[in-house]
Structure 1
């Protein structure tokens, strides 16, 4: 049954889906990655690029910037934006710390952040998906399938986390975002 579900999930369109967004849309590219350089973040109020640690940027702006950096393949800039947040180790921050570290080549560190995110919130389907994708990269398909089963059991069978993990298990290819 679960393999049939995985096959169904793999046939769903991925173009409009992206990891990490609350609304399943990819982050909109902003001046943070269009105009700013060197990991700076666009400050809408000042209409200028600011260092993430400048203290001028609120957590939501920094989090959106971290997502945007991750989306365009700039994991170190995503890590810098996350580090500047005052929010602390919330499960959403831990999830992106895991993702950005994994994509920066720090697999073990990434896995530890996914574990922390899931300790804080076992229903964090995105953390489960990213964790499962890391397991696919490690060749641990049975463990990745266990994460997919958890996502489905927690009501996420039709969302991006289940779809992307099912695709990764089926193809062996993980998402770049």
Structure 2
């Protein structure tokens, strides 16, 4: 199994609630696991029990739910990914909003995608992943000027030589396709 580099950690908030902070985001799509290959919508693979269980089960934390949402989204299982986000403790977390935008964009609902990216950026203007995904969507829509503006923002906010910068650059270049 490939090991992918990810900077993910929990920030303790209000007792047992946690927020997911993916830092510089992952640089490769997640590998398929039983979560995306076997589990029905609303469930994820539990390593302890070796079966699919409800995402809102106590054995899962927000990092597990985030990873499930990401894996399911990249597998094209957008409804299931949304259910994983629904199980998150803080549904207004900028990571949740960013992934809601991603799911909406990949599902073809650009107005909803823009809405979620705007919410994520209003809560955290330094959310480089939201800026990259927004820029990719803008590039897909042919609005390269606005996509480049997101690239400028990414760089201005310390995102030089990061995944968000590289991914957006790939989308903006002539003949380029969205990295994710």
2:170 aligns with one of 161, 167, 174: 167
Residues 1:169 and 1:76: Cα distance change in structure 2 (over 3 Å): same
Work out whether residues 17 and 26 of structure 1, in 8 Å CA contact, stay in contact via their aligned partners in 2: no
Instruction: Specify which structure has the higher proportion of helix.
Output: 1
Q: What is the CA-CA distance between 1:44 and the residue it aligns to?
A: 2.3
Contact 2:41 2:79 in 1 (8 A): no
Partner residue in 2 for 1:110: 113
List gaps (5 residues or longer) in structure 2.
7-21
Q: Report the Cα distance in structure 2 between the residues aligned to 1:97 and 1:158, rounded to whole angstroms.
A: 25
1:50, CA displacement in angstroms? Answer: 1.7
Q: Please list every run of at least 4 consecutive aligned residues from structure 1 whose deviation after the TM superposition is greater than 6 angstroms.
A: none
TM-score by length of 1: 0.80
Q: Give the C-alpha shift of residue 101 in structure 1.
A: 1.1
Give aligned pairs, total: 160
Contact 1:102/1:110, CA 8 A, preserved across alignment: yes
Contact 1:76–1:104 (Cα < 8 Å) also in 2: no
Q: State which of 70, 77, 96 in structure 1 corresponds to 2:99.
A: 96
- Higher-RCO chain (CA-CA 8 Å, sequence separation at least 6): 1
